[in-house]
Amino acid sequence: MERFAALLDTLVYTRSRNAKLAALAHYLRETPDPDRGYALAALSDGLDFAAVKSSTIRNLMRERVDPELWTLSRDYVGDSAETASLLWPESGDPASPPTVGEAVAALSAMTRANVMEDLPRLLDRLDAEGRYALLKLATGAMRIGISARLAKTAFAQAFDVALEDVEEHWHGQAPPYTALFDWAARGAPAPETGNLPLFRPFMLAHPLGEDEILDLATYAAEWKWDGIRVQVVRSPGESGLGETRLYSRSGDDISASFPEITEALDIDCVLDGELLVRGDAQGGRDGGAGSFNALQQRLGRKTVSKRLRAEAPAFVRLYDLLQREGEDLRARTWHARRAALETLLPRLDPQHFDLSTLIGVTNFADLARLRETARDAAIEGVMLKHRESPYVAGRKTGLWYKWKRDPLLIDCVLMYAQRGSGKRSSFYSDFTFGCWDGDPDAGAELLPVGKAYFGFTDEELKQLDRHVRTHTVQRFGPVRETDKSLVFEVAFDSVHASRRHKSGLAMRFPRISRIRADKPPHEADRLATLRALVQD
Amino acid sequence: MPRDFAWIHPEPWGIHVVPADCWIDPARPVACALVTHGHADHARGGHGETFATPETLAIMKLRYATSQGARPAPYHESVTLPGSVRATWIPAGHVLGSAQILLEHAGERVIVTGDFKRRADPTCPPFEVTPCDVLITEATFGLPVFRHPPVAHEIAKLTRALALQPERCVLVGAYALGKAQRLIAELRAAGHDQTIWLHGAMEAMCRLYENFGIDLGSLKLVSDAPSREALAGHIVLAPPSALNDRWSRRLPDPLTAMASGWMRVRQRARQRGVELPLIISDHADWDELTQTVVDVAPRETWITHGREDAMLRWCELNQRKARALAMLGYEEDEDG
Ligand SMILES: [Zn+2]
Ligand SMILES: [Zn+2]
């Protein structure tokens, strides 16, 4: 556990990506199984222990620390696991710290009935760094700025294997990934994946630069729909009868939320597309897609009612075809795959699968003009794909670009602030802002319209933090109400009707684009302005 | 009904000793100031008279280039002030010359701790527990998460990092008054006798410490280094503000460290871009703060600055009368 704890701290404190990769690769090479496999799982997919939840930490601490002191500490540190690791009474004898493997075994064996006795016993064997590592591992929420992709890249680097191969073999393996280490470190054959419907790593797009112009003879253009990017995979499965899975961009299995999609596919293939619900908010009646807001009510459900399925029927607008009846198409060019997709389409259920149409312009200026209209059509922007590009995992320069429409802007007044978590802890960095519900000079009120956590520079963050601390009028636990004297310009992608806010509006991707210290608060925008932008 | 201890009146910019019309660590110029220690936020210039320990006065002279109105008050030698107030400077263990100020008037005893710590520091005499009726204390690290590890543990972390990558230097951010000299003295005590390289802003204060008889070993200025390579494998000390500025580009691939109690919290270290956090503080940690209240056992505890919420709560839980003074102007960051 000490090595893992040291690794975590190195990852936390190291700034350069290469140095992080080197530290992680070094750990993976030098640490025995199964420790390294569990460590890797903790840093990528996360480990799940049924008896240990983040509330477990709170409950453990409640028995040892005054709740008010706990809350003050937690707010300051910004992370429950770290706070607990610092507050935990030193046992004075961390003589035999458990290995990662031992800790995982102990954590797995814990039940709701004994976790409150058994977890302390592990914590007592560790110092503050070790306790932090253990609690992070146990609650499965690392949040130390290491993406699963970075972990996989480090794995590839540690054993000098290709990242694509790592990602390919990764899915279907469970911690501690012994077969994966045997393959990469000892040259054993690649892990057997059988006929399972496994996730394939997505190909992603770079944002198009401000003044970049692409040749449309080389790049194909299509609309960027505002849903969620998904992969639909069907393969014979263990039974041989066929199994279908729906994966989100991060590789999460979201099949249960959208049974109509998995039920509709009866050909073995891997499809890449945008998950949407029926409607006419995006692209008008011809586009036939509802807003992201409409899709949102279907996300994250374990089961779906008939009524919801009927109200917001889901479908996938197809972008690409990765595999067709056992044949891997990923090495082929984009246009070859597109042709294969178009050939396959008539065999797919039209109610649940349609094709993302190409934008038939040959001149970049025309495309720019069309993109301008994306706002009216409520589409997120356009995609540009190199016609000769193979389907490669990740974001490779020069192959795919996304060209989003420009954001909307509105001037809002800062109303409440809360300390951030993670990197921003101990700064007020979560801001709730509002617009006037009428004429402020005639006594109108500010109503909250959204929250923003980013968009500002570190310098601006300090400025905002100072503003909050010196303009607080009231405190509600960790939240401070300010005197509503500061205006900022908020950029956002779209706005929708919502019952969550008193204003009846919810913004999509709001971020602070500028602090308008120059602007008096009564000149901030009114709700009516925002309401006029709703596109549901 | 007059408030108890009404002769001590805290204002946001300083503590007013009313019968003597003196101010403790005032944030604005006054006719008569009583200064606990030399950190700039406590020892400001421009006062008519300044009572402080000779060490603190020397530090102030270095900073403000004048000793006008300086009134030396050596440790334990009481000064009689107007209005029948007696003031005594008692070691606070914070930095060279740092003191608690004991004020006596009409049979009541009030102590203003200034900044203090309870652990050993080779550069200044240790904090002395002194009984009083009102303890006016700081609470910079007044949250139970702040527990500073033994300093030897942190020094070992530093020397280990140095040995591990001999082609780099370790650039340690340390406050120029107090932290820097303590760090050097602790390194010397741990047997590190190599030259330690200094940012220009560190030099004068180190010389001042040496003039007061504190041996800091071989110190040289980075600007006098014969080459960049000469610094590889060495420790370089700079004020925290210089860690990420242009100045550090002259160093051979520096590993950025910082010596401060704030380094106990990961995100605080990350916010400063620190790769090697060293939890070394010249302030009392939570255990020291609360232990001091227990040891001194005052009738009331007043908290000048820092994280007063948690200290107030602790006092409440332990049935000790306490209040927060909400003093302005004491920096929390740099001298942590
Ligand atoms: Zn100080
Ligand atoms: Zn101070």
CATH number at residue B251: 3.40.50.12650
Q: Report pLDDT for A393.
A: 84
A171-192 mean pLDDT: 89
Q: Report pLDDT for A192.
A: 73
Architecture of the domain whose range is A2-139: Orthogonal Bundle (1.10)
Long-range contacts of A339-343 (CB under 8 A, 24+ apart): A341/A271
How far is ligand 1, taken at its centre, from the CA of residue A131, in Å? 32
**0.90 surpassed by complex ipTM:** yes
Cβ contact (<8 Å) for A69 and B314? yes
Cβ contact (<8 Å) for B270 and A14? no
Do A2-139 and A203-400 come out as alike in CATH topology?
no
Residue-range definition of the domain harbouring residue B179: 151-278
Both B241 and B135 in one domain: the answer is no
Provide the token pair at A413: 């007044």
Tens of pLDDT, residue by residue over A481-508, are 888 989 998 988 888 888 777 788 888 8
Both B167 and B108 in one domain: the answer is no
Q: Give B36's contacts (C-beta < 8 A, 6+ positions apart).
A: B24, B25, B42, B52, B56, B92, B98, B99, B100, B101, B112, B113, B114, B115
| Residue A34, preceding peptide bond in cis (omega within 30° of 0) | yes
Residues of B in contact with A83 (CB under 8 A): 145
* More reliable by pLDDT, A469 or B88: B88
Q: Does B48 touch chain A (CB under 8 A)?
A: no
A34 touches A176 (CB < 8 A) = yes
Both B162 and B230 in one domain: the answer is yes
DSSP state of A253: B
Tell me the pLDDT band of B168, cut-offs 50, 70 and 90. very high
Nearest Cα residue in chain A from B257? A13
Q: Report pLDDT for B232.
A: 94
Both B318 and B203 in one domain: the answer is no
As a whole-number percent, the residues of chain B with pLDDT over 90 amount to: 85
Residue A410 burial class via C-beta count within 10 angstroms: exposed 0-12, middle 13-18, buried 19 and up: buried
Q: Does B124 touch chain A (CB under 8 A)?
A: no
User: What is the number of domains present in chain B?
Assistant: 2
Residues of B in contact with A457 (CB under 8 A): none
A364-376 mean pLDDT: 80
Instruction: Let me know if domain A203-400 sits in CATH 3.30.470.30.
Output: yes
A191-196 mean pLDDT: 74
The CA distances from residue B37 to A486, B109, B294, in Å, are 38, 20, 24
Cβ contact (<8 Å) for A13 and B276? yes
Both B240 and B301 in one domain: the answer is no
Give the distance from residue A133's alpha carbon to the nearest chain B alpha carbon, in angstroms.
Answer: 13
Number of A/B CB contacts below 8 angstroms equals 63
Q: How far apart are CA B35 and CA B27, in angstroms?
A: 11
How far is ligand 1, taken at its centre, from the CA of residue B94, in Å? 7
Cβ contact (<8 Å) for B313 and A77? no
Q: Which ligand lies nearest the alpha carbon of B98?
A: 1
Q: Which residue's entry shows tokens 């741990």?
A: B190
Q: Does B317 touch chain A (CB under 8 A)?
A: yes
Both B90 and B184 in one domain: the answer is no
Task: Find how far residue B161's CA is from the centre of its chain.
Answer: 26
Q: Does B150 touch chain A (CB under 8 A)?
A: no
B171 touches B206 (CB < 8 A) = no
Assess if residue B221 is contained within a domain.
yes
Residues of A in contact with B314 (CB under 8 A): 69
Residues of B in contact with A426 (CB under 8 A): 265, 267-268, 271
Nearest to B267 among A66, A68, A423 (CB): A423
Q: Report pLDDT for A424.
A: 62
Q: Report pLDDT for A143.
A: 67
Tell me the pLDDT band of B1, cut-offs 50, 70 and 90. very low
Cβ contact (<8 Å) for B143 and A9? no
Provide the token pair at A210: 């401000």
Instruction: Name the fold adopted by A408-531.
Output: OB fold (Dihydrolipoamide Acetyltransferase, E2P) (2.40.50)
Interface of A to B at Cβ within 8 Å reads 9, 12-15, 65-66, 68-69, 72-73, 76-79, 82-83, 86-87, 422-427
Cβ contact (<8 Å) for B309 and A79? no
Both B73 and B115 in one domain: the answer is yes
Cβ contact (<8 Å) for B267 and A83? no
Helix (H, G, I), strand (E, B) or coil at B31: coil
Tens of pLDDT, residue by residue over B94-142, are 999 999 999 999 999 999 999 999 999 999 999 999 999 999 999 999 9
User: What is the number of helices (H) and of strands (E) in chain B?
Assistant: 7, 19
Both B198 and B319 in one domain: the answer is no
Tens of pLDDT, residue by residue over A292-348, are 778 888 887 888 899 989 989 999 999 999 999 989 999 999 999 999 999 999 999
Residues of A in contact with B270 (CB under 8 A): 12-13, 423
The neighbouring-strand residues paired with A430 are: A418
Tens of pLDDT, residue by residue over B147-164, are 999 999 999 999 999 998
B50 touches B33 (CB < 8 A) = yes
Q: Give B230's contacts (C-beta < 8 A, 6+ positions apart).
A: none
Assess if residue B235 is contained within a domain.
yes
Looking at A126-130, A147-151, A344-348, B44-48, which range is the least confident one?
A147-151
Cβ contact (<8 Å) for A13 and B313? no
Cβ contact (<8 Å) for A69 and B313? yes
Cβ contact (<8 Å) for B267 and A87? no
CATH number at residue B315: 3.60.15.10
How many residues are recorded in chain A?
536
Q: Which ligand lies nearest the alpha carbon of B140?
A: 2
Q: Does B329 touch chain A (CB under 8 A)?
A: no
How far is ligand 1, taken at its centre, from the CA of residue B243, in Å? 20
How far is ligand 2, taken at its centre, from the CA of residue B297, in Å? 23
